[in-house]
Homo-oligomer: A and B are copies of this chain.
Amino acid sequence: MAPSKKGILERLDAGEVVIGDGGFVFALEKRGYVKAGPWTPEAAAEHPEAVRQLHREFLRAGANVMQTFTFYASDDKLENRGNKLTFTGAQINEGDALVAGGVCQTPSYLSCKSETEVKAILKKQLDVFTKKNVDFLIAEYFEHVEEAVWAVEVLKETGKPVAASMCIGPEGDMHGVSPAECAVRLVKAGAQIVGVNCHFDPMTCVKAVKMMKEGVEKAGLKAHYMVQPLAYHTPDCNCQGFIDLPEFPFGLEPRILSRWDMHKYAREAFNAGIHFIGGCCGFEPYHIRAVAEELAVERGVLPAASEKHGNWGAGLEMHTKPWVRARARRDYWENLKPASGRPLCPSMSAPDSWGVTKGHKDLVQQKEATSQDQLKQLFDRSKSH
């Protein structure tokens, strides 16, 4: 790291907008390098050039933060899925971007392991972040505030800035703790930045972070706020988020946000006082570029990738067909209600709701793949729901 690089807290304290990257596992799954289901990050070792290319694209799109590609990289998770991996971390270090080391929820917690055991698992991942000297740490994708607090406590020991991001919506965590209360506990545990990521669409996530902010302010505390939502529309989710939607994870295409949806998201988040704005599953580089373009005035800069993008469709001024040239204007795209081309499909789904969470035997970790017999039972149960 160049010593002159401004840290995440300096930037946020100065009122800067910091733009995050998008979710790597979903983007690399579509490119053929990550397996849906286990979602483990072995691509970093197996196909580093593919991972680097995606980093490059998000940076070019305007991202200021590069998260290490270490989702689900805790030892218990990797082992759980039949991998024993020895690598990790950020393979890229370009320009002015901050590198953030990330940890996320552990199978051990869902299996009711003790605080000591869970913290030990989380701690193991810190070594490499310390060695690589990442700029700050993110505890993200926690469904239970109890485990998120433990993670913050572990991360704080490094002395680096700590962000804590839960995968919850306005209904709160899986034990029913409200976003406001979650945020207060995380700030009290030492997180300087709090927010939500994954599981819900941008507007739902912004709503949840607003509730966090109100809670923190009501408690007389101070924090910065972050949001890294899905790039999928999820108005029909219940409290567990998009995982419960019948389309997860292989039928989500019709829900993908357009770049114009991203403009609305970026504006809404900024107006809510959230200054660390990024993405999660479903985000492609052009989605991050749209966030950066919406906030170009506030940030004083357009991203590099905007050389290949006309503002609000302006590039269409050069299209061959006159009726397409007529779409080269903001109000056209801002008001478009895009059709799905799927007249036999509904617009919303009824999510699965098995009512199973931490401690339930179905969630206890097992090293073996689910057996055919176990799967048969699951299929039968899924039909009775």
Given A31-B286, A32-B57, check contact A370 B236 (CB 8 Å).
no
Binds B, one of A123-131, A153-161, A185-193, A252-260: A252-260
Complex Cα spacing A82 to B81, Å: 53
Is residue A233 within 8 Å, beta carbon to beta carbon, of the partner chain? yes
CB neighbors of B among A130-161 (8 A): none
- CB pair B310–A343 under 8 Å, yes or no, is no
Contact partner of A341 (CB less than 8 A), chosen from B50, B80, B235, B316, is B235
- CB pair B348–A341 under 8 Å, yes or no, is yes
Binds B, one of A114-122, A210-218, A273-281, A350-358: A350-358
What's the least CB distance linking A255 to chain B, in Å?
4
Interface string of A345-371 (1 = CB under 8 A from B): 111111010101000001100000110
Copies in the complex: 4
- CB pair B340–A347 under 8 Å, yes or no, is yes
Inter-chain contacts of A244 with B (CB < 8 A): 323
Inter-chain contacts of A348 with B (CB < 8 A): 339, 341, 343-344, 347
Inter-chain contacts of A318 with B (CB < 8 A): 37-38, 80-82, 369-370
Main SS at interface, chain A: loop
The contact size tier of chain A is: 35 or more
Is residue A71 within 8 Å, beta carbon to beta carbon, of the partner chain? no
Identity of the chain B residue whose Cβ is nearest the Cβ of A287 in the assembled complex: B30
Complex Cα spacing A264 to B248, Å: 20
- CB pair B57–A49 under 8 Å, yes or no, is no
Given A250-B260, A333-B251, check contact A243 B321 (CB 8 Å).
yes
Inter-chain contacts of A328 with B (CB < 8 A): 37, 370, 375
Is residue A207 within 8 Å, beta carbon to beta carbon, of the partner chain? no
